[in-house]
Chain A
Amino acid sequence: MKFTPRPLSENVNVSKTHPLAELAWMLGGLALILLVFYLLVGQAVEVVAERLPAGAERWLGRQALKNFAVAENPELDRRLQTLLAALPVDSPLRRRDFQVWVAATDEINAVALPGECIVVFRGLLEAVASENELDMVLAHELGHFAHRDQLKGLGRGLVATFLTMTLFGNDSSAAGLVASLTLSFDARYSQRQEAAADAWGLDLLVARYGHAGGAVDFFARLSRRDDAPRLAYLRASHPHPEDRIRNLERRIAERQYRFETVVPLDSTRLLAEPPRP
């Protein structure tokens, strides 16, 4: 037999699919699966959050509180009680025993934790200028409790983390990709929650003082201080301060709330007690 070498015209060992097409298919599929799973579990979390027993919620709150170096603040507690007194008599929040803590952090923020804890960061106390502003912040956090956001947010965060960890393990670059995908779903959700808490807080502020003075001052100051571009707020948990101001002003106009002079705040009294380490 004579050997006749022939060149191969076709390569059977390499698939013809274009790599970019493959990437698009797989990323699309992944996003879809995550979206469906996230929505389903998100729904489940809402159901659980509505029905979680108070004891379990307090336990969760104590665990969450361990992350902050907090000190009690009787002055803030008194303010919160005054705010609660302005709530309608049948409000379920009246039956709960809230406590305000001050965390020794310069960050301008406050968080609602499960249980009945509100943690106000020291940086925020230094940044507020009037009693009305401070009460607006507290009322906003109470709004989260009214909507049970403290549990829903925690639940969704846990699910998102669990999801990425199970799928990809702790350190793979795909985990980062998926985390940012879920984060953007989550950001949309949490920005809606914040807007709802703002609206709820505004109503409570008006119930407490009889006018909406101080409702937007704080966000206006934040907005001037904040030079981050709007794009950064796509993935942020909170809406852009300017959007918050716009939403609040719309509600103020709709409900015809009045503006009156605000009560200046003596923040030295608030910050007098050094926070416990």
Chain B
Amino acid sequence: MLRVLAQNADLVIFLFLTGLGYTAGSIAERRHYRSISRREAELLHLPVVTFKNPYPEESVRSGVMMMGSVVISIDYFKRLLAILRNIFGGRVTSYETLVDRARREAVLRLKEAARQKGCDMVVNLRLETSTIGQSANSRNSVGCVEVLAYGTAIALRRL
């Protein structure tokens, strides 16, 4: 039995990494989503909007640029699904949760930073993404996605 395993070492390693990717990836994802939902509910009353500052200048006490950024890695299982998708075409659903988590986490971090600064809202929100680990689909390298959320956190003058 051991000999069969040794002879097919590449296949065994591949299956192991895929299995590990699925279990660990699912657990991490579920925990992350739980944390995202909780924190989103907490920070619900700090609005983040994409339009520019709508308030007259005299009512804004301070405006400061804030950033929230996160890097999330794919796992072997997600990568396998994506590679198979490359053959058939269609929506790469395995990466959807990945970028969704990254976007929401980045915005959450932006909000948390704004709250620490005592700001009331974030205007002019922008999102940028980039990949880390260029050849994400090639052997022995697993890519990551970075999402950077930035915007102007403003504190309003209480009248």
Contact = CB atoms under 8 A, between A and B. Distances in A.
Given A15-B96, A172-B137, A172-B138, A177 B7 contact: no
B27 interface: no
B89 to A, nearest CB: 11
Given A19-B77, A172-B83, A7 B44 contact: yes
B85 interface: yes
Contacts of B83: 168, 172-174
A167 B40 contact: no
A36 interface: no
B151 to A, nearest CB: 16
B13 to A, nearest CB: 9
Interface stretch (A23-31, A196-204, A262-270): A23-31
B84 A228 contact: no
Interface string A63-93: 0000000000000000000000000000000
A62 B14 CA distance: 37
Given A5-B44, A14-B96, A23 B80 contact: yes
B87 A171 contact: no
B156 to A, nearest CB: 12
A22 B100 contact: no
Contacts of B87: 26, 30, 167
A103 B127 CA distance: 65
B14 to A, nearest CB: 5
A71 B118 CA distance: 87
Contacts, number: 78
Contacts of A232: 3-4, 7
A172 B139 contact: yes
A5 B45 contact: yes
Contacts of A29: 88
Nearest to A12: B100
A229 interface: yes
Main secondary structure of the interface of A (DSSP, over half): helix
B73 interface: no
Nearest to B18: A173
Contact of A7 (B40, B78, B96, B103): B40
A17 interface: yes
B133 interface: no
Contacts of B78: 19
Interface string A158-178: 000000000110011110110
Given A5-B45, A7-B44, A173-B139, A229 B3 contact: yes
B41 interface: yes
A11 interface: yes
A229 B1 contact: yes
Given A13-B96, A14-B96, A173 B1 contact: no
Contacts of B85: 26
Given A3-B47, A19-B93, 13 more contacts: A14-B97, A15-B93, A23-B84, A26-B84, A27-B84, A30-B87, A173-B83, A174-B83, A176-B11, A228-B3, A228-B4, A232-B4, A235-B8
10 contacts: A5-B45, A15-B91, A19-B22, A171-B139, A173-B76, A174-B83, A180-B11, A231-B4, A232-B7, A235-B8
* A-B interface, 6 closest residue pairs, ranked by CB to CB distance from nearest: A26-B84, A15-B93, A5-B44, A13-B100, A174-B83, A171-B139
